[in-house]
Structure 1
Amino acid sequence: MNRDLDLAGFELHPQRGAVLGEVHARPFTRLIAPVTVLRFAFLSQGEVAAADRQKFVAFCMSHGQAPPDAGTKHHQVTIDTTQLRWEQHSEFSTFTWIVSSGTPARRFGEIGDQSAALIRSLSQSGQLLVAVKLEVEQTSAALERAQELFERGSLAVAAVRSGPAVVASDFRSDDQGFVRILVCNDGLSPGRLGALVQRVLEIETYRTLALLGLPAALELAPSVDHIGRRLVEVLEEMQGAEDLKLNNHLLTELTALAASLERGAAGSLFRFGASRAYYEIVQARLAVIEGGEIAGYPTWSSFLARRMAPAMRTCATMEDRQADLSIKLARAADLLRTRVDVELEEQNRDLLRSMDERTRLQLRLQSTVEGLSVAAIGYYVVSLFGYLAKGAHDGGLHVEPSLATAIFVPVAVAVVWIVTRNIRRRHLKHDERSGAHD
């Protein structure tokens, strides 16, 4: 009897479901023109992102919609004629409002009062960075419509690779603060139209996020320039610096410069890396949607390349300068530290030589003192012996005090010298044992 094989007997990896589900995350929304799409992106990380998520959950529940599951980064709800797509990323969250009117809008991006009130009711704690107003129109007169809406000096138009459609924008903020984008559909299916709109929105979102690295690079530029100039000055001072105090001062300054540089590099590491990743996403999305140039107007790729590429090069150059300066500072500090160590060793050598000379003088003085001590102690012992000899003579013994004292002098001196020498030897042996134990 045949049975279907299941995975009941296997130990599944805890991340298997998340990995498989990632392929189906953020699906395209099927769209039918005419439709107005508003995209907001808020910078939110950590506690701010958690608070904004709770606000979105409360918004869903207040309108009778199911909230996102715990850990879910994408969710979509439909309220009357308005759809809301919520997506949470590593440093930002997006809210995409899709308003379908069924009839062409009287003005670009115009939505009803009910939809406007619904959008305003969902507040966020994070800072607003991206605000896009995208209008999808069912028309074949794409160029005429684009020329009517946008400033011609900044207008970029491109045919869509996947079918009969055109995208256009001047990438400028309107009076309400929105960047306006026009999508003219002339036969795309709802699925392809939804995919096109999502990719266009991603281009504008990631374009803005990528350019966040430029202010950081410009802010770091004066500090990096100062560190570079000061490094050259320190290296010049190092060539003529022979004083240990001056070398120590230069080493302290190099350490401070390196700390300042590393602080700036650590702060900009994520920003420059994120800008590089976002720029790559923009280029990937442009490669997917663009099909060709229209009527001599620049395509989105050429338009954005002229403006984004210099900014990205600035960020990359600043990142390279930080890395290069870090290596040079470390090398200069090593050279200066080596010079300081050599100077300290020379000072220690001179100090040891001075101590050795001082010890030699002390030994000579000690030998002299020992000789004087032997004479003094011998004189004292002989004097005592003289008193004993005189006492013995006065007591009736046949002893000549002067002769006995004279004979005793070399004996006393010899005995005192031998005793003193033995004492010194014992002290030296004790010091040697103590030094060996240390």
Structure 2
Amino acid sequence: MGFPAHAERAVALGEVHARPYPLVDTPRLLIQLAFMTEGGSTVDHAVLGELSRSIGIAPPARDARHHIMPWGNGTLRWERHTEFSTYLWEGPMPRDGSTAQHPFGHGFNPPGTVIDGVRLEIIKKDRSAHALISEFDPASLCYSDVENGLASIVTDFRQDRDGMTRILILDNGLSPARAGALSQRVIEIETYRTLAMLGLPLAHSLSPRIRRIEDRLAGLTNEMRDSTSDSHKLLDELTSLAAELEADAASSLYRFGASRAYNGIVLERLAALQEEPVTGYETWGAFIQRRMAPAMRTCRSVSGRQESLSEKLSRAATLLRTSVDVELERQNRDLLSSMDKRAQLQLRLQRTVEGLSVAAISYYVVGLFYYLARGAETYIPELHASVLTAIFVPIAILAMWYVVKAVRKKHAED
């Protein structure tokens, strides 16, 4: 266009075409494994690099999130998600007892722990195909028509001896593009259904701990009503309970949020299927909703209890802090009152000491004056030392009182 382009424009435009549906002919076999990537993208890239080098092609870039490579007589597709990655192999159905040429054999190094595995078979919808339906568990068999009757999807959501969930698509006239879109949609339903359920074990483990904190909070609240209770001790225990709850909430925040997001994706994919029920069988949507809805409600309930309990602990702590603050103010008031009384006593004592000081200093001054008068009496007999000393006594007392008053005034000004 000749204009400066936004730095992220290429990424935004390319993301729309980053995950195209595979063009799938019938019959076809798709095998997908999903791995939790606790080790980060580095481990994923190492696995892809090893697979690429084994067939003599260049590995993907380190920041790549999607990659496609040929493998055997099929195609291997890799996608990296937030906390997991998927490896999808798509190839022809094995015939005459042969095995599929997928890469997931004994030489495959997984990038993390496996969380889900799907084996999807796409075959023509004919009389022979119906015999395969009998191989599924009738207790959990789900069978419905999709794509306006052009296909049927069948599964029992159970794992086979290899740990894979088997899904069967019966093709009744699908184009390769529609078959690829449908296969990706049903695989994503199974993958995200499994990931959404990861929040349930965490909810079960947190529920007793939340119950214990709720019971203890009720006990502490009753103790707060007792005026003789130790507010400081109660506040310390409340703080400890709040810290424990917040630690659990922080550790479960991501998992519960991820479960909600995955559940939303499952519901979107189920709605996109537009299932039409087959008489005598349950639809995918009805089966999954009946199993997943209680689990998701449990996760939401635990998350809601955490939030509600956090607010209750905060309110209780605020009440206790108010009580402690009032008690501290009362203690400060008593302390200030005691200090005021002590200051008054010190002032009285100071005045008493000042009075005694005037008397003592005057006594010594008068004594010195008496010695001076006696010395003068020796040279002037008419002077009587005793008379002069008696006259000087009030003068000395007044003079010392004035001096002490001046000193006290000077200190008060400073």
Residues 32-67 of structure 1: CA deviation (Å, up to 9, x unaligned) = 12111111000004x432122222023113202343
The equivalent residue for 1:63 is 55
1:154 aligns with 2:140: yes
Inter-partner Cα distance in structure 2 for 1:15 and 1:36:
37
Question: Which letter does structure 2 place at the counterpart of 1:358?
Answer: R
Q: 2:13 aligns with which of 14, 20, 23?
A: 20
Q: CA offset at residue 398 of structure 1?
A: 2.5
1:298 aligns with 2:282: yes
| Unmatched tracts of structure 2, length 5 or more | none
Q: CA offset at residue 161 of structure 1?
A: 3.0
Matches within 5 A, 1:109-188: 111-112=99-100, 115-116=101-102, 119-141=105-127, 144-188=130-174
**Aligned sequence identity (%):** 46
Q: 1:344 aligns with which of 328, 335, 358?
A: 328
Inter-partner Cα distance in structure 2 for 1:266 and 1:142:
53
Question: Which letter does structure 2 place at the counterpart of 1:212?
Answer: L
The equivalent residue for 1:411 is 395
The equivalent residue for 1:75 is 67
Q: 1:33 to 1:228 in 2, by over 3 A?
A: same
Residues 314-338 of structure 1: CA deviation (Å, up to 9, x unaligned) = 0011111111111111111111101
Aligned residues: 414
Inter-partner Cα distance in structure 1 for 2:384 and 2:238:
87
Q: CA offset at residue 129 of structure 1?
A: 0.5
Q: CA offset at residue 162 of structure 1?
A: 4.6
1:32 aligns with 2:25: yes
Matches within 5 A, 1:128-277: 128-141=114-127, 144-242=130-228, 246-277=230-261
Q: CA offset at residue 296 of structure 1?
A: 2.0
1:288 aligns with 2:272: yes
Inter-partner Cα distance in structure 2 for 1:393 and 1:88:
121
Inter-partner Cα distance in structure 2 for 1:297 and 1:201:
20
RMSD: 1.7
| Unmatched tracts of structure 1, length 5 or more | 1-6, 431-438
Contact residue 133 and residue 154 of structure 2 kept, 8 A: no
Q: 1:316 to 1:22 in 2, by over 3 A?
A: same
Q: Secondary structure at 2:408's aligned position in 1?
A: helix
Q: Secondary structure at 2:60's aligned position in 1?
A: coil
Q: CA offset at residue 415 of structure 1?
A: 0.6
Inter-partner Cα distance in structure 2 for 1:25 and 1:210:
24
Inter-partner Cα distance in structure 2 for 1:362 and 1:106:
112
Contact residue 89 and residue 102 of structure 2 kept, 8 A: no
Q: 1:368 to 1:215 in 2, by over 3 A?
A: same
TM-score, normalised with respect to structure 2: 0.96
Q: Secondary structure at 2:158's aligned position in 1?
A: strand
Q: 1:136 to 1:120 in 2, by over 3 A?
A: farther
Contact residue 33 and residue 138 of structure 1 kept, 8 A: yes
